[in-house]
Chains A and B, each alone.
Chain A
């Protein structure tokens, strides 16, 4: 008689992560936190617009030379871009797959309708799509300058002012930044829970941090179009 023995090897760590709802959510949490970290640096950089064109354009130029002379011109920029692109893809693909699963998990809806979750939580999916579309426009506007009304390479200050001198530029930007705020409000706290950092004692701290980050990011980003509209930045 042969005893049954376990010969099945354990699946690899990436396979275990990607094959589980908790693992996929952890991928979403980590990629989301990477993008959140980038946004914090981004909003800080944006606010340099208040110190005038010279300083803002100088800062934009410095971004291309970070790491020099070890790194070649724009290498750091490309490293950041690759990391962000990987984060967006990981975040979006896991969000799509998990959402499909969530919808399939309740094939018959309740007849008695009511909102099941807070506004920020309910808008995570469509908010994410809005932010994704905004990023495409934002890159075409201020990175490739394809749709920028000014489109002067190396003059980001003038390009930013040109964009926020149009009504549609302001509308697209402000709507997207409100979506970012809502997304971060639920996303940051949710990521902390997913990565196991949440507990009863820390809950208030994490919620405050999430709300604070959301508010600071939204206010910081929206400050620029508001400044252009009011003529503070021109």
Chain B
């Protein structure tokens, strides 16, 4: 395959950036999207140019490191992570636009790499349970109803990649925060901090400069892990409940 790439190039956080056009040839339909970028980078290095910086780690679709807005879609046209996107999703001769996640809370570090530590700070403010560490507790000591376990697992699938923020017209982190809040709030292990968790995580989300939710639904469409849109309604319910009850921890 022969492709025309329009890639966002930005030297560092302070420098102005621009879409730069590259031609790549000899791309196999079986390559992953990141392998295609590797091919481009190998050529750029041989030519003595600065390779395109992009985030990636496991390349198995489970770590949440890869990002990239491809032709306006977070993680590209397939509902998966960029690393699991293959070139067979494109046609020979295509022009592909590659941009970083765009959000005030995700500043660009270089080229396609953005700083997602705002997500870490949301987690730090409540995405945990306070239990003594040590040997694993007896698995049957805390029974969890099947429906609650399913609900928790559904939300726990979030890998924190930030596609929801990238896809949202308002750069909102509601789906991410909702996934993290619901995951722990429906389980008995998360109950002691149920109110403070949602209040603190939402407060941090707001403080980081993410936009608000307008229920556009773009986040849930882009999410590679299929976190459903009703998770946001569930978090809203938790938040309103916590404001009425007040924090207990």
Most chain B CB within 10 A, of A186, A189, A194, A199, is at: A194
A114 touches B72 (CB 8 A): yes
A198 touches B233 (CB 8 A): yes
Within 8 A of B (CB), among A15-34: 16-17, 19-26
B236 touches A105 (CB 8 A): no
B69 touches A112 (CB 8 A): yes
B8 touches A111 (CB 8 A): yes
A198 touches B230 (CB 8 A): yes
B240 touches A117 (CB 8 A): no
B103 touches A196 (CB 8 A): no
Within 8 A of B (CB), among A119-136: 121-122, 124
Within 8 A of A (CB), among B85-121: 97, 99, 102-105
**In the assembled complex, which residues on chain B have CB atoms less than 8 Å from the CB atom of A124?**
214
**In the assembled complex, which residues on chain A have CB atoms less than 8 Å from the CB atom of B169?**
102, 106, 116-117, 122
**A106-B211, A117-B214, A124-B214 in contact; A26/B170 too (CB < 8 A)?**
no
Q: Does B218 contact A (CB under 8 A)?
A: yes
Q: Does B163 contact A (CB under 8 A)?
A: no
Chain A, interface size category, equals 35 or more
Which residue of the partner chain A has the closest CB to B241?
A: A196
Within 8 A of B (CB), among A186-225: 186, 189-190, 192-200, 203
**In the assembled complex, which residues on chain A have CB atoms less than 8 Å from the CB atom of B71?**
112
B6, B102, B202, B203: the one within 8 Å of A108 (CB): B102
**In the assembled complex, which residues on chain A have CB atoms less than 8 Å from the CB atom of B218?**
116-117
Which 4 residue pairs spanning A and B have beta carbons closest together?
Answer: A196-B237, A105-B211, A117-B216, A198-B233
Most chain B CB within 10 A, of A16, A106, A195, is at: A106
Minimum C-beta distance from B20 to chain A (A): 11
Which residue of the partner chain A has the closest CB to B165?
A: A105
Q: Can you report 6 A-B residue pairs in the complex whose CB atoms are below 8 A from each other?
A: A21-B205, A21-B206, A110-B72, A116-B218, A117-B214, A190-B214
A106, A194, A200: the one within 8 Å of B102 (CB): A106
B236 touches A102 (CB 8 A): no
**In the assembled complex, which residues on chain B have CB atoms less than 8 Å from the CB atom of A230?**
none
- Tell me how many residues of B have a C-beta within 8 Å of chain A: 51
Most chain A CB within 10 A, of B102, B169, B233, is at: B233
Query: CA A165 – CA B244 in complex, angstroms?
Result: 52
**In the assembled complex, which residues on chain B have CB atoms less than 8 Å from the CB atom of A228?**
none
Query: CA A97 – CA B170 in complex, angstroms?
Result: 13
Q: Does A42 contact B (CB under 8 A)?
A: no
B72, B104, B237, B241: the one within 8 Å of A105 (CB): B104
Q: Does B172 contact A (CB under 8 A)?
A: yes
Minimum C-beta distance from B49 to chain A (A): 21
B243 touches A17 (CB 8 A): yes
Q: Does B210 contact A (CB under 8 A)?
A: yes
B247 touches A10 (CB 8 A): yes
B99 touches A116 (CB 8 A): no
Which residue of the partner chain B has the closest CB to A201?
A: B230
**A20-B206, A121-B216 in contact; A101/B211 too (CB < 8 A)?**
yes
Q: Does B246 contact A (CB under 8 A)?
A: yes
Q: Does B213 contact A (CB under 8 A)?
A: yes
Q: Does B168 contact A (CB under 8 A)?
A: yes
Within 8 A of B (CB), among A48-102: 98, 101-102
**In the assembled complex, which residues on chain B have CB atoms less than 8 Å from the CB atom of A197?**
233, 237
A13, A112, A195: the one within 8 Å of B243 (CB): A13
Most chain B CB within 10 A, of A21, A26, A186, is at: A21
Query: CA A197 – CA B88 in complex, angstroms?
Result: 41
